[in-house]
Structure 1
Amino acid sequence: MQHAFRQVLLFGWQQARCCAFAVALVGGVAVSALLPELPVARYDLLLGYGVLLTVLARRVGWDTARDTAVIAACHLIGLLFELVKVQLGSWSYPEDAVTKCAGVPLYGGFLYSAVGSYVCRAWRLMSLQLTGYRPRVMVPLAAAVYVNFFSHHWLPDARWVLAALMLLATIGTSVGYSVGQRRYRMPLALGFTLIGFFLWVAENVATYVGAWSYPNQLHGWQPVSLMKIAAWSLLISVTFVMVAGRRRAAEGTSSPPQQPAFVSPAPSSASCSLPAHPQTVLPRARAGGRRLPPA
């Protein structure tokens, strides 16, 4: 029991380290809501804070150069997501700002960058290893999940069909991870669900401190719908396949092809010389019952 308790504490500490960028970002949003009225809009301040936080995370080693590239891609994908959803009235950013485009402050993409940072740091700090992962199935499925979050405003909502397909696609896929000196494993679908739950918790905190507001929160904060857990559990697959693809590409380029210890060259008709190699041993021939020395 004591060992299990220590492992739980260590796992919690590792998760806290993985969430460093997200905690710092949401903490900055919370502090900005307490500031007195300033000549600079709060959303503009948060954009500068997000950029500074990204640079700091790179300098102190929270994120590697490859991680930063993935996080930047998450930021751009998140901004596109925000632009469409805000225009459709799914949520809003009620405050004014200079760095606001089509109702979306540019800092809004950092909320998705925080998710990308979490996945990247978890991959490194917990030594994640995938078993049975099928990128040829997961990549188009994650793309379909992303498109469905837009298209369901005009077409039938396919999220539950996509959820069922995601479960089928991840059957036999597991994630290995380290907690201290021990290795554990969990199904990938369970990992998506747990991340979706904690993102729902973070979303409640973020809306409470005024990061954005849903329509039912404009006249007073209310908890975010539980249905968002399912939405986040699906949406995390987009970030996951991006990070997994980047990791696979990095491993492919960093590992040179394995060469056999010794490959004998093909004999040449123009030369009768034998290849010289320290491990090459020529067989001894027999002539008239006498063993001849090697040539």
Structure 2
Amino acid sequence: MRETAHQQELTAVERAIDRAAHRLLADASERGIRAGLIEFLVFGAKQAWACIFGAALLVVIVAARLWYPDDAALARNDALTIAAVLIQVVMVATRLETGRELWVIVLFHVTGTVMELFKTDVGSWSYDGDGVLRIAGVPLFSGFMYAAVGSYMVRVHRLFDLGFTRYPRQWLTAIVAVAIYANFFTHHYVFDLRWVLLAAVVLLWWPTVMHFRVWRRTLRMPLLAAFGLVALFIWLAENIATWAGAWFYPDQVDGWQLVSPSKLVSWLLLMIISVVLVTWVYPPRPPSIARTEVERGAIASPVRG
């Protein structure tokens, strides 16, 4: 059975799933309602698979809120940290993440933890005081929440065989990413440049179109629209996590309420940092590579023995 270049980029588990899916869908029609439904289901399944690290961590956070005993010998935050480490170990041990992807995730974990230390110190948000697995007032599981974003970014790149037209020069994106990260710190002391930085993001990525393979077709979407959708889902996950008591914003200390929609801009900007880090592992490539394979039948057709 011949594997395409795209399949070789997948982990061993993902290649097995990909082959099984092709066998299952080998006789499915390429047109009509049924084909459209299959395309939608495959898209949802791939997105769910890309979110597996973040989803598992969110499930653990919610479960700890609902069922973890308050008088347990092991503090709740420490239990969350241990669970997050175990999830990461399982991801690597079962080859759900590759070694080179892990480096990007670890780097995002570190940059996120540094920002957490600063933000909690200036009172932007806070955590419960229990537990010993912490740095200053920040429990160590917090870094894994940033790592979950990085994990999604690298996995979605592989799973959807992403290609781009008119992608900005990487050195420009790196400058914007560094400026965004710096502004998360400096805006407490000087001017807040988030709207200037948001304008820079729009200016840089406005012409960029993302090409992504769902099943047999390669679809297109403005990259800025994709950024906005991802930021929206991160914001929704943030609402669940704050409801579960993972952390608190100042207006949630006396009782949970919806996270301000203004955080969508913060998440979009933070996501840009992750996007730029991922380009170190997966340099943006033109969609012509994927389209050529589709035209040859290497990707679009079911894998046959």
- Shorter-chain TM-score above 0.5: yes
Q: CA RMSD in A?
A: 1.4
Aligned residues of 1:92 and 1:213 also touching (Cα < 8 A): yes
Matched, 1:20 2:52: yes
SS state at 1:248 partner: coil
SS state at 2:282 partner: helix
Q: Which runs of 5+ in 1 are unaligned?
A: 250-295
| Higher RCO (CA-CA < 8 Å; seq separation 6+) | 2
Give the aligned residue type for 2:92.
Answer: R
Match of 2:246 in 1: 211
Match of 1:35 in 2: 68
Q: Which runs of 5+ in 2 are unaligned?
A: 1-32, 285-305
Aligned residues of 1:177 and 1:184 also touching (Cα < 8 A): yes
Match of 1:271 in 2: none
Match of 2:180 in 1: 145
TM-score, L = length of structure 1: 0.81
Give the aligned residue type for 1:26.
Answer: L
Give the distance between the partners of 1:174 and 1:232, measured in 2 at CA.
Answer: 21
Match of 2:171 in 1: 136
SS state at 1:97 partner: coil
Match of 1:170 in 2: 205
Aligned residues of 1:82 and 1:104 also touching (Cα < 8 A): yes
CA deviations 1:185-212 (Å, max 9, x no partner) are 2122111111111110010011111111
Give the aligned residue type for 2:147.
Answer: S
SS state at 2:206 partner: coil
What is the CA distance between 1:2 and its match in structure 2? 4.2
Give the distance between the partners of 2:46 and 2:62, measured in 1 at CA.
Answer: 24
SS state at 1:186 partner: strand
SS state at 2:211 partner: strand
Rg comparison, structure with higher value: 1
What is the CA distance between 1:3 and its match in structure 2? 3.4
Match of 2:298 in 1: none
What is the CA distance between 1:166 and its match in structure 2? 0.9
Give the aligned residue type for 2:157.
Answer: W
Match of 1:228 in 2: 263
Give the aligned residue type for 1:67.
Answer: E
SS state at 1:224 partner: coil
What is the CA distance between 1:217 and its match in structure 2? 1.0
CA deviations 1:30-50 (Å, max 9, x no partner) are 112221121111111111111
Matched positions, count? 249
SS state at 2:272 partner: helix
Matched, 1:10 2:42: yes
Aligned pair partner of 1:160 in 185, 195, 200 = 195
Match of 2:228 in 1: 193
Q: Percent identity?
A: 41
Aligned residues of 2:129 and 2:137 also touching (Cα < 8 A): no
TM-score, L = length of structure 2: 0.79
